[in-house]
Amino acid sequence: MKLFYSINHVLLAFFMHSSSLMDAGTGFLLKPIFIHGFSASLHLVLLLVLFVSWVCGKLKVRVGHDSTEESKERVKNRRVSWYKKTLVCCLGVSAFNFVLCLLSYFYWYRNDWSDDKLVTLFDLVLRTLGWGAISVYLHTQFFNSGKKRFPFLLRVWWGFYMSISCYCLVIHIVLYNKQVSVPIQYVASDVVSVITGLFFCYVGFWGKHEGEDAILLQEPLLDGNTASEDVVSPIKPKGSDKVTPYSNASLISILTFSWMGSLIADGNKKTLDLEDVPQLDSRDSVVGAFPTFRNKLEAECGTGSGVTTLALVKALFFFFWKDMLSTAFLALAYTSATYVGPFLIDTFVQYLNGKQDFEHEGYVLVSAFFVAKLVECLCRRHWVFRLQRVGVRVRAVIIAMVYNKGLTLSCQAMQGHTSGEIINFMTVDAERLGDFIWYIHDPWLAIVQVGLAFLILYKNLGLASVATVFAAIIVMLVNFPFWRMQEKFQEKLMESKDKRLKATSEILRNMRILKLQGWEMKFLSKIIELRKSEAGWLKKQLFCTAMANFIFWNASSFLSVTTFGACMILGIPLSSGKILSAIATFRILQVPMYALPDTISMIIQTRVSLDRIASFLRLDDLQSDVVERQQRGCSDTALEIIDGNFSWDLTSPNQTLKDINLKVFHGMKVAVCGTVGSGKSSLLSCVLGEIPKISGILRLCGTKAYVAQSPWIQSGTIQENILFGKEMDRVSYDRVLDACSLKKDLEILSFGDQTVIGERGINLSGGQKQRIQIARALYQDADIYLFDDPFSAVDAHTGSHLFKEVLLTLLCSKTVIYVTHQVEFLPAADLILVMKDGKITQAGKYSDILNSGTDFMELVGAHKQALSTIDSMGGGLVSEKNSEEGGGPSITSRDVMKEENKDVQNDKSDEVAESKRQLVQEEEREKGKVGFSVYWKYITTVYGGALVPFILLSQVVFQTFQIGSNYWIAWASPVSEEMKPPVAGSTLIIVYVSLAIGSSFCLLSRNVLLVTTGYKTASLLFNKMHMFIFRAPMSFFDATPSGRILNRASTDQSAVDMNVPMQIGGFAFGIIQLLAIIIVMSQVAWQAFIVFIPVISTCIWYQQYYIPSARELSRLVGVCKAPVIQHFAETISGSTTIRSFDQESRFRNTNMKLMDGYSRPKFHVAGAMEWLCFRIDVLSSITFACSLVLLISVPDGVINAAIAGLAVTYGLNLNTIQASVIWNLCNLENKIISVERMLQYCSIPSEPPLVIEGSRPDPSWPSHGEVGINDLQVRYAPHLPLVLQGLTCTFLGGMKTGIVGRTGSGKTTLIQTLFRTIEPAVGQIMIDGVNISSIGLHDLRSRLSIIPQDPTMFEGTVRSNLDPLDEYTDEQIWEALDKCQLGDEVRKKEGKLDSRVTENGENWSMGQRQLVCLGRVLLKKSKVLVLDEATASVDTATDNLIQQTLRQHFSDSTVITIAHRITSVLDSDMVLLLNQGLIEEYDSPTKLLENKSSSFAQLVAEYSLRSNSSFEN
């Protein structure tokens, strides 16, 4: 306090001495009080001048506030050279004077204060403030001023500063020569001042400014705009165009992580996007790393499929062995440095107690502590960063390996793994390998740590250290069962999570059919049940973790009690220094004791992941010798199969294709036909080399293109899907669009061919997807084209147009093999193959095989039977139409397009046009700081946050007991062995144990409360989010890729389950610990607050400076992960198409680019975290060192040496706790984003109520099935025009009504309104007198039935697909199977009704899947049945059987049909023809056909014309 009482006399003393200057002569000029007083005065004037300058600057800013950003940018480009170096030098001078001030204060603290010392200290304070103010001025005011030179007054000041510095140095040299004692700090200050003064004078008076010429050099010389610009802006490369600064950073920059500075600075100026994040260095990029790893793996196990776990481990080791060795050295150095503190504490306590072995021992000890902390900081930060960097590389190369394997997997191997399981190799196993790198050194480090701890304890406590070892073993053994349980619970938890996610994925994929059938809540209850099972394991896992955490925090107390008890028993004298050294050692030792089981668990989990990945990499690839490829033009034969036998399952006795002999010449058109399941698609697959070959020869000459029956569309624009990797050729592109009738579709779309297609083509109709597929194949200009029934998804006219324009025109000179169910397309073929039971039963031209066998006759007969219906109903309609329309060309040239019947694209075209938005947007990403409301909602979810105060109270009391126990044992022990202890040994131990037990109970209650709160919050958020998702309207699922929903249900839910409560708790507990340490250290010497306040302020500033960049980088990691998964999922589902176009290499490159896009923010997140932690660690080390200097500067006897030693013990953890608080805060900001994302989905608008209790229909409703439509007007959004414009009609009960119309007429909108996936704007629909809008959605949808266009099958069994809700008996299911012609097929299978159905029903043909959908409605037997293109995927004969089945079993039901096959509509009692949302015609088919000018008659004529034409050239 003497300092502060004397400050008032400082200036007075200086001026009193000055007044006697004339009397004392020039000798006064040599006195320190004059030198430092004069310097202080000048620095005070400097501060005043800078303050006035700042005020003037603020006034100028207000006047010139309208300056643009562009001018600011030009200003920055004109700033003087050496600016950054000058700024750093000013900061350095300020920091140097601050440190000198502290050291001087601590050094003089023990003695009385003199006037000289006070003036010197005052001078150093003003110097610190003055140079700090100059730094702030340079950064804030001068930085944007645009001046070409430093300000005149600043340069004058630098001149003065240089003169004073030289004067002081000369004076001190003179005094030294006169044998006058000069303090060392004076000389150090003079030297530093002179050197910096020289630098400032150089940059101020001789330094050149950056001219415009230098900037002009950065511009292109041929830029026409350059001459007209007054000022040229420099080219600033985007992050996506430049490599990370880490790749060419200097040693200092690497050591201090300064290379991250530019990115963190950018994040403070704006919201970071992916293009702002620099590219990875070639060593870290998967593009550069993968070839190296692949070569290592091939060297271990060859190029075949012989990958073993050992080979994979060896390849990974040799891939990063250099990094492993360097990080091992850093880890060893870090571990050694952490034990320096415990080793020296006893010596330090003895020094404070007055025992000094040599001069300046205190400063040597402080230096040792400080250097050890710096080494610990440097090694820890670079150890962690390097391991994370290796983890990024390992994760990337493993994902690349899995991806490449997925592209070459055989179909049989693919069937053994669902796409979700394969994606898990990327999202779970590869991530786990990347995370394991963190643990790679822990096993051997634990041994080193225990060994060092034992040595320190043995040095201090002798044989009692043996008790410590046994106690440590006991702690590990106690931890062992918890670890085993954790491992078991984690395994069960992951299994439960996998089941839930698998079910969720399937449900999201089929949400449309679930809503139409009214099944969504049943399936939601299934998800909730799966979650309950998962939550049970989660609860066990969390409580097990809480117990392990309890053991961890009590380990130190248990070791202390055991060791000190052993000392009492063995009679080993205890001193406070030895006790504190032991306590510090125990704290370090508890980390490996706690972490070792976790490390072993991680090793086991990683071993499992390695086994899984190795077993996947060992799976069979496609046979490379199935197809003998020949170069284009080397043979007249395009395709030849000789005695070919092929089978999807090589273990099955039933071959898929048998005795295939086929020869196709270039330019031939080959048609393949046959009944459902006859092997048509398999024949094309064998040509593609997809089916394993048992025997025979298959030769293919030329390139190939393939159009699958089930369209495969990539996420991306329509243009990207058509080009499929080829360069744009506008002429060819337009010709392909014309041939595929896509131009009109593109005109409807606001973005044309730049429209982004949703996941699986969700915003396209079936016909549009199929035509885009065909366009993709045409644009490739291949030699051989394989079409798998692409015309089934388009209407009569469009199919006819496609066949003529594509097969007969554009591909007239190409080899085409096409599968078709339309008999009318067969006559144009040069060769027709009739398939049955995997064999070619007939082959030849149409006329040749027509009468040569029964199989072909059955197909043709069914087709003729269908046509006879038209002839009988329409009479001479066709011939009359031919005569009227000149043979029909005017009809076929009309702009008739398929009714693009999926709801989103056609009927919503106006919506898209008006809103000018893509249907599928980029994933939403919150920007800026996470709002406090998110935290508040999270912590108040359970009991309104009532448990939170109790959790915090438990931690405060725990911390109090912990400090109390350590304070007690430090106080109650003698400082040295010669002194008498204040209390008896038994009392010491009893009190210590009591306090330890008290803290244990508090800890236990804290852990239990935290786990309970976190668990209940996670469960409530899960249920709430899923309820909103399942109640969302279909428009939400159309515009939202399932990957985004799954990301929230998996990644975000896992974070909320496991991480968020621990992060919030960890942050709160860390704050309490930090405050406790500050209190303990300040209690010993309150002056430590002088250091704590600026250091903590600086840490907070650093954290605030860092967090905007880190937050956005973490968000980018989440956003960039989804495209990797989505691309992989798309690749797996479209692997056949990709291979057929020979595009594997392009897709591999795309995957690598996406992986680098994911790795870039992940790498820089790690760099940013270490940038922050390094600075906080250094600041903490400086704080600790200053506190130690303060302690050794305190006069003897002022403080208790034992309590001072306790402060040091706590101070050793200061940097760890401080870094932990900041790390937890930053991590919490990153993890809380998961809560934010889940809360987003808790505000999705819901559909109308499922059940309205006051308005429930009768259980027998509908009894007649009469559907009355009254003035129905429908629009997709309030601001959009009407799609249905006042429809009024009645579908009589028991009648069959066909709905027809052209594109955009509103057919599907009407069906959607009937099922209320869209609500009417005006009007109503009545079913048996009940207004459907007045009842609940579930009551409505459960009473109606629909067979959708896209046949849906779930993974499971035949039984679960027909009867998902288990409502029917096996007899009823068999009856339904027989009715839909599948009974015999199912009986052939080994499992009968329990026969396996793979993901998406891939092991069933498209037609068979459609028949399963028919079986569902046969079981349900509703009074109202809707058929939406229900027979699009079956041949005509099967179609006739289905129609016959429907007539037989739904004779008294109302059947509403939308169909491409006119024969399906002709069989109806009534036909409704819609045109632009209005009813154009509504009557019986017979009456409409009688009127030759009716629109319906024209549609029938088109179909009849096409069916009767042969398409022959």
CA 1329 vs. chain centroid, Å, equals: 51
Highest averaged pLDDT of the listed ranges 17-31, 1016-1030, 1195-1209: 1016-1030
pLDDT higher than threshold 60 for residue 333: yes
Q: How far is CA 505 from CA 827, 1057, 1473, in A?
A: 44, 20, 38
Distance in angstroms (rounded) separating the CA atoms of residues 1320 and 1287: 11
Mean pLDDT of 1346-1352: 77
Tokens in use for 1032?
């969302």
In three-state secondary structure terms, 1046 is helix
Give the span between the Cα atoms of 477 and 467, in whole angstroms. 15
Phi-psi region of 1355 (alpha: psi -120 to 50; beta: other; left: phi over 0): beta
Q: What pLDDT is stored for residue 898 in this prediction?
A: 34
Q: What is the dihedral of CA 1369, 1370, 1375, 1376, to 10 degrees?
A: 80
pLDDT score, position 20: 43
Confidence of residue 170 (pLDDT cuts 50, 70, 90): confident
Q: DSSP string of 1282-1329? A: PSEEEEEEEE-TT-EEEEEE-TTSSHHHHHHHHTTSS--SEEEEEETT
C-alpha to C-alpha distance for 1217 and 565, rounded to whole angstroms: 29
pLDDT of residue 1254: 81
pLDDT at 468 over 80: yes
Q: For residue 1431, name the pLDDT band (cuts at 50, 70, 90).
A: low
| Model confidence pLDDT, tens digit, residues 1439-1450 | 777 777 777 888
Q: What is the pLDDT of residue 1116?
A: 84
pLDDT band at 1022 (very low <50, low <70, confident <90, very high): very high
The CA–CA distances, whole Å, from 1101 to 268, 1094, 1095, 1114, 1211 equal 12, 10, 10, 20, 22
Could you tell me the pLDDT band of residue 990, with boundaries at 50, 70 and 90? Answer: confident
CB 352 within 8 A of CB 970: no
Q: Is the pLDDT of residue 595 over 60?
A: yes
Written as six digits, the tokens of 252 are: 């200092």
Q: Residue 1310: which of 1330, 1285, 1338 has the closest Cα?
A: 1285
Write out the two tokens for 1260.
């027998």
pLDDT at 148: 60
What is the reported pLDDT for 866?
58
Q: Which pLDDT tens digit goes with each residue over 1303-1317?
A: 567 787 888 888 888
Per-residue pLDDT reduced to its tens digit, 1439-1486 = 777 777 777 888 888 888 886 666 667 778 888 888 878 888 888 888
Contact 268, 1108 (CB under 8 A): yes
If you average pLDDT over residues 794-823, what whole number do you get? 81
**pLDDT for residue 21:** 39
Least confident stretch, 9-23, 68-82, 584-598, 632-646: 9-23
Strands of the sheet containing 669-674, edge to edge, are 704-707, 784-788, 815-819, 669-674, 831-836, 839-844
Is the pLDDT at 1261 greater than 50? The verdict is: yes
* Averaged pLDDT, 893-902: 34
Q: What's the confidence (pLDDT) of residue 329?
A: 92
Query: Mean pLDDT score of the chain, rounded to an integer?
Result: 77
Tens-place pLDDT, residues 478-529: 877 877 787 788 778 878 887 888 888 888 888 888 888 888 888 888 889 8
| Number of Cβ atoms within 10 Å of the Cβ of 34 | 20
Q: Supply 1445's token pair.
A: 């089945």
Q: pLDDT category, 1346, cuts 50, 70, 90?
A: confident
C-alpha 305/C-alpha 1214 separation (Å) is 53
Tokens describing residue 81 = 């050279």
Going by C-alpha positions, the residue among 1505, 1470, 1059, 1460 that lies closest to residue 1266 is 1470
Query: Would you give the DSSP letter of residue 1265?
Result: -
Dig out the tokens for 516 from the structure: 């139409």
Structure-token pair, residue 831: 């060769």
Question: By CB neighbour count within 10 A (0-12 exposed, 13-18 middle, 19+ buried), where does 1226 fall?
Answer: buried
pLDDT (tens digit per residue) in 201-233:
877 776 554 443 333 333 333 333 333 333 333
How many DSSP H helices and E strands does the chain contain? 57, 24
Distance of CA 28 to CAs 161, 164, 176, 584, 1000, Å? 21, 16, 16, 53, 67
Task: Give whole-number Cα distances, 403 to 320, 407, 609, 715, 1147, in Å.
Answer: 21, 7, 16, 18, 9
Contacts of 1084 (CB under 8 A, 6+ apart): 1191, 1199, 1203, 1204, 1206, 1207
Between residues 978 and 664, which one has the greater pLDDT? 664
pLDDT value at position 520?
86
Residue 913 has pLDDT above 70, yes or no: no
239 — pLDDT class (breaks 50, 70, 90): very low
Residue labelled with tokens 């015999």: 1384
Q: Which amino acid is at 1278?
A: P
The per-residue pLDDT for 13 is 43
Q: What is the pLDDT at residue 1021?
A: 92
Contact assessment for residue 1481 and residue 1473, using Cβ atoms and an 8 Å cutoff:
yes
Q: Which band of pLDDT confidence, cut at 50, 70 and 90, is reported for residue 759?
A: low
pLDDT in tens, 1081-1117: 777 766 666 777 777 788 888 888 888 888 888 878 8
- For the beta carbon of residue 178, count every other beta carbon within 10 angstroms: 9
How much is the pLDDT for 110? 55
